Structure 1
Amino acid sequence: MIKIYAPASIGNINVGFDVLGVAIAPKNGSLLGDIVTIKPDNHFHVNNIGKFSFQLPKNIKNNIVWKCWNNYCKIIGKKILVSITLEKNMPIGSGLGSSACSVVSTLVAINKFCNKPLNSQQLLHIMGKIEGEISGDPHYDNVAPCYYGGLQLIINENNLISQPIPFFKKWIWIVAWPGIKISTSIARSILPSQYDKKICIKHSRLLSGFVHASHTNQESLAINLMKDIIAEPYRMKLIPNFLQIKKKILKLGAINFGISGSGPTIFVICNKQKNAIIISEWLSKNYLKNKYGFVHICNLDTIGTREIGE
């Protein structure tokens, strides 16, 4: 039996639409992500468990685990007879890379079960393809950090999909999911099909400057450049009172604030633990809509997807 855990991730982090993503790990040691268990069987079988398993489709061929298994079998040219249990701990449509968690954990588990015939780049390519089938457009800003951990810059050139870049270790990351969902495909569809040249130039300046600041350890410069001029101006309308919440969080001591992926999860960056606690308490009281919502104070997950014990 093989048991694989894949962590949640924050795509875009304001300044890097579709090209930056970070894996996150709650500071309290809890696992924020999906877990896949695989073992040999006489036929292929999928079992769904976990807090958010009720969100999964009833038709097995619409299940993300089946999509991963089917794609993998086609690539290696044979059917793999296994029983796969998906422990769905990540809410679908949360903006925390829920589909990436399931895709990455499933493919890593299957590949390990088969004695790793595919290398990491081949696996990552399949992950991006399947992620694209779900969201409507192939992208790696969740699957790459989920798989490798840390802060990943998406290259996707000459078979090089992503590379890690340095991150500021004293940053404390907070994620708050209100308990409602936003479809990734819908959140992408409200974005303009074309952007003004001035916006494109400014975005290039912000992104390249952030990557430079990360490599040269210029924290204040990195924070000042973490602005979302591509998605936030359009997606903020999907999050009620977004600007008021942003203003309040920054007043409480955050150094950055933004929409995690497609939303509705928001992320906050602090450099002081006391501020992180105050902000997380405020979000718990004012941002969560139901019993399913959550707030986590996190560090970056530097390990990425890994095998875990019983």
Structure 2
Amino acid sequence: MEKTYYAPASIGNFSVGFDTLGLALSPVNGELLGDRLAIATAAKHSTKSKLVVAGRYRHQLPTKSQDNLVLRCWTAFRRLVAKPLPELNFTLQKELPVGSGLGSSACSVVVTCYGLNHFFAEPLTTMELLNLMAEIEGGVSGSVHLDNVAPAFLGGMQLMTPSLDEPALKLPWFSHWSVVVSYPGTVINTAMARQVLPATIALPTTVRAAKNLASFVSGLYTENEALALNALEDTIAEPYRQPLIPKLASLREQAHRLGIHHLGISGAGPTLFALCTDDEQARQAQQLFENHYHTNADAMTHHCRVDLSGARLLVSEEAPNAIS
């Protein structure tokens, strides 16, 4: 028996919500922008689970399979379930670049933990699964935060809350909004990107950030598009991370001249995202990124809408013909 699972890429922070907002992504052309994982029961007498890594960005992953997040998730899942489980064969189709700001590690964690739970008839509750994902992802990024895990798992635009019973809340979204995400082909390590942030932030800055986040969320709920758009300003992370992305200022200036409403850093970067309110803006943003932000063959740009489904079992028409 073999089943294939999928988890989407995501934008963490969404400029206005440091460690608080995350958006799951679905390319408008129908492609799958995220990680796929095939799980199958190993041969009866197998004594060790095996992992095969494929996909466009497989060259960015550790060469030793035991260092891969899939097997680390499998070990943690077995420990938490605490009952005998058979050995498995995994095939990971790695379609997200590592250190890109698109939730690459969260995507691998989510697709594995979700897939394992589904494969074994859901021994873990949703909250147990979410906590497991958060713990493993926190070990990669340097701190526990759900702004990539929650949207990759649950779909949509997710707001992180302090509630232990409901740590993430799905927000409304303007149906005509889309985002263009562009990865230049270079890498920024998430843990290192967090190290450039100051240990304390001035009170006026935090107050401004709180006002912006509150205004953005209120704009979504009240369908006040102007309020939501005008609130998109990163006062927490961008001032310190902008030196890591030297082209940000010039690209933002060009985007504004084109009438594009917002251009920000996706997660810790270097991926940038442009929030667009119509297809013409999206076309221009995609052209701008492809002409001025791509640096090597690993680069990619995608026009996306919100992925409302999150992690899921792939049905036959969604799954690629081959995972190799």
Q: Secondary structure at the match of 2:161?
A: strand
Count of residues in correspondence between the two structures: 310
Query: Which residue of 2 is the match for residue 47 of structure 1?
Result: 52
Query: Which residue of 2 is the match for residue 131 of structure 1?
Result: 137
Query: Which residue of 1 is the match for residue 4 of structure 2?
Result: 3
Shift of 1:97: 0.4
- Which of 169, 182, 199 lines up with 2:175 in the alignment? 169
Amino acid aligned to 2:69: I
Is residue 59 of structure 2 the alignment partner of residue 58 of structure 1? Answer: no
Mapped to 1, the partners of 2:291 and 2:55 lie a distance apart of 25
Q: Secondary structure at the match of 1:147?
A: helix
Query: Which residue of 1 is the match for residue 110 of structure 2?
Result: 104
Q: Secondary structure at the match of 1:157?
A: coil
| Structure 1 runs, 4 residues or longer, greater than 4 Å off | none
Shift of 1:61: 3.1
Mapped to 1, the partners of 2:247 and 2:82 lie a distance apart of 51
Is residue 77 of structure 2 the alignment partner of residue 72 of structure 1? Answer: yes
Mapped to 2, the partners of 1:158 and 1:283 lie a distance apart of 40
Query: Which residue of 1 is the match for residue 270 of structure 2?
Result: 264
Is residue 212 of structure 2 the alignment partner of residue 206 of structure 1? Answer: yes
Query: Which residue of 2 is the match for residue 155 of structure 1?
Result: 161
Q: Secondary structure at the match of 1:112?
A: helix
Is residue 252 of structure 2 the alignment partner of residue 246 of structure 1? Answer: yes
Shift of 1:244: 1.1
What aligned pairs does 1:198-237 form with structure 2 within 5 A after superposition?
Answer: 198-237=204-243
Mapped to 2, the partners of 1:289 and 1:196 lie a distance apart of 36
Q: Relative to structure 1, is the Cα distance of residues 189 and 79 closer, same or farther in structure 2, using a 3 angstrom cutoff?
A: farther
Query: Which residue of 1 is the match for residue 25 of structure 2?
Result: 24
Mapped to 1, the partners of 2:305 and 2:96 lie a distance apart of 18
Q: Secondary structure at the match of 1:30?
A: coil
TM-score with structure 1 setting the length: 0.98
Shift of 1:100: 1.0
Structure 1 unaligned runs (5+)? none
Mapped to 2, the partners of 1:45 and 1:86 lie a distance apart of 11
Amino acid aligned to 2:183: W
Mapped to 2, the partners of 1:261 and 1:151 lie a distance apart of 14
Q: Relative to structure 1, is the Cα distance of residues 79 and 65 closer, same or farther in structure 2, using a 3 angstrom cutoff?
A: farther
Deviations 1:75-133 (A, max 9, x none): 01145311111111100000000011100101111111111011111111111111100
Deviations 1:217-265 (A, max 9, x none): 1111000011100011111110123211111111112111100000000
Amino-acid identity (%) = 39
Shift of 1:51: 0.9
Structure 2 unaligned runs (5+)? 320-324
Give the aligned CA root-mean-square deviation in angstroms. Answer: 1.1
Mapped to 1, the partners of 2:244 and 2:188 lie a distance apart of 8
Mapped to 1, the partners of 2:283 and 2:219 lie a distance apart of 27
TM-score with structure 2 setting the length: 0.93
Deviations 1:106-162 (A, max 9, x none): 111111111101111111111111110001101100010011111000114233220
